[in-house]
Chain A
Amino acid sequence: MESRLCSRFVLSFLLALPISLFGQKNSCLECHTGLDVQKLRAPVEGFTSDIHRQFGLGCQDCHGGNPLQDDVGLAKDKSFKGAPEKAKVPEFCGSCHSSPDYMRRFNPNIRVDQLQQYWTSKHGQLLRKGDSNVAVCTDCHGVHGIQASNFPKSSTFAWNIPQTCGRCHSSQDYMKAYGIPVNQVDEYKQSVHARALFDKKDLSAPVCNKCHGNHGALPPQVTSIAFVCRQCHPSAGDLFSASPHKAAFDGLGISECEACHGNHKILPPTDEMLAGGSADVCSQCHDTGTKPYDTGLKMKQQISGYVSSLQVAQALLEKAEKQGVEVSEPNFKLQDASTALILVRNLTHGLSLAEMKGKLDEGDKVIAEVKALGTGALQEAKFRKTGLIVATGFIFLLALALYLKIREIQSKPSS
Chain B
Amino acid sequence: MGKFTKNALAYLEPRFQLSALAEFGKKKKVPEHKYSFWYYFGGLCLFLFALQVMTGIFLLLYYTPSVDAAHESIQFIMSQVKFGWLIRSVHSWTANILIGAIFVHMFSTFFLKAYRPPRDLTWVSGFFLLIFFMAFGFSGYLLPWNELSFFATRVGTDIAGSIPLLGRALKTFILGGAGVSGATLTRFFWLHVAVLPALALFIMGIHIFLVQVMGMSKPIGISKIKEISFFPNFVLKDALVWLLVLTAIGVICVFLPWEVGRKADPFASTPIGIKPEWYFTFMFTTLKIIPAHIFSLTGEVLAILGFMLGGLLWMLVPYLDRRAGREMKSPVFTVAGALIVIYIIVMTALTYLAPRL
Contacts and interface: CB of A to CB of B under 8 A. Distances in A.
Interface of A: 324-329, 384-385, 387-388, 391-392, 395-396, 398-399, 402-403, 405-406, 409-410, 414
A402 B85 contact: no
A9 B182 CA distance: 57
B79 A409 contact: no
Contact of B250 (A325, A326, A388, A402): A388
Contacts of A388: 250-251, 254
Contact of B233 (A328, A395, A396, A409): A409
Given A396-B247, A410-B233, A403 B240 contact: yes
Nearest to A399: B243
Given A328-B75, A395-B246, A406 B240 contact: yes
Name, among B232, B250, B260, the residue most crowded by chain A CB atoms within 10 Å (CB to CB): B250
Contacts of B239: 402
Contacts, number: 58
B256 interface: yes
B8 to A, nearest CB: 22
10 contacts: A326-B79, A326-B257, A327-B79, A328-B79, A384-B85, A391-B250, A399-B243, A406-B233, A406-B236, A406-B237
User: Which applies to chain B's interface (DSSP): helix, strand, loop or mixed?
Assistant: helix
Contact of B254 (A327, A384, A403): A384
Contacts of B244: 399
A326 B243 CA distance: 28
B256 to A, nearest CB: 6
B99 interface: no
Contacts of B255: 324
Interface string B202-222: 000000000000000000000
Interface string B136-156: 000000000000000000000
Contacts of A406: 233, 236-237, 240
B236 A405 contact: yes
Name, among B229, B239, B246, B254, the residue most crowded by chain A CB atoms within 10 Å (CB to CB): B254
A409 B236 contact: yes
Contacts of B79: 325-329
Given A326-B75, A395-B247, A402 B257 contact: no
A62 to B, nearest CB: 42
Given A326-B79, A326-B85, A392-B247, A402 B254 contact: no
Name, among B79, B232, B251, the residue most crowded by chain A CB atoms within 10 Å (CB to CB): B79
Contacts of B78: 326
B293 to A, nearest CB: 29
A399 B232 contact: no
A326 B251 contact: no
A409 to B, nearest CB: 6
Contacts of B85: 324-326, 384
Contacts of B256: 324
Interface of B: 75, 78-79, 85-86, 229, 232-233, 236-237, 239-240, 243-244, 246-247, 250-251, 254-257, 260
Contact of B260 (A326, A384, A395, A403): A326
B292 to A, nearest CB: 29
Contact of A398 (B229, B243, B250, B251): B243
Contacts of A395: 243, 246-247, 250
Name, among A324, A392, A398, A403, the residue most crowded by chain B CB atoms within 10 Å (CB to CB): A324
Given A326-B78, A326-B260, A402-B239, 12 more contacts: A324-B85, A325-B79, A325-B85, A326-B85, A328-B260, A385-B254, A392-B250, A395-B250, A399-B247, A405-B236, A406-B233, A406-B236
A180 B47 CA distance: 81
Contacts of B240: 399, 402-403, 406
The 4 closest A-B pairs by CB, nearest first: A326-B79, A326-B78, A324-B257, A399-B243
A325 B236 CA distance: 36
Nearest to A380: B85
Contacts of A405: 232, 236
Contacts of A398: 243
Contacts of A385: 254
Nearest to B240: A402
A395 B249 CA distance: 12
A214 B233 CA distance: 89
B93 to A, nearest CB: 12
B340 to A, nearest CB: 35
Contacts of B86: 384
A321 to B, nearest CB: 10
A398 B255 CA distance: 23
Nearest to A330: B79
A384 B78 CA distance: 13
Contacts of B237: 406
Nearest to A388: B254
B236 A324 contact: no
B70 to A, nearest CB: 15
Contacts of B236: 402, 405-406, 409
A207 B224 CA distance: 87
A412 to B, nearest CB: 10
A189 B229 CA distance: 80
Name, among B86, B232, B247, the residue most crowded by chain A CB atoms within 10 Å (CB to CB): B247
Nearest to B226: A414
B33 to A, nearest CB: 15
A324 B258 CA distance: 8
Contacts of A326: 75, 78-79, 85, 257, 260
A402 B234 CA distance: 12
A27 B260 CA distance: 68
A384 B82 CA distance: 11
A403 B244 CA distance: 11
Contacts of A414: 229
A329 B77 CA distance: 12
A329 B72 CA distance: 11
A406 B239 CA distance: 11
A406 B247 CA distance: 20
A107 B79 CA distance: 57
Nearest to B85: A326
A387 B255 CA distance: 12
A324 B251 CA distance: 12
Contacts of A325: 79, 85, 257
Contacts of A396: 247
A93 to B, nearest CB: 40
Nearest to B74: A326
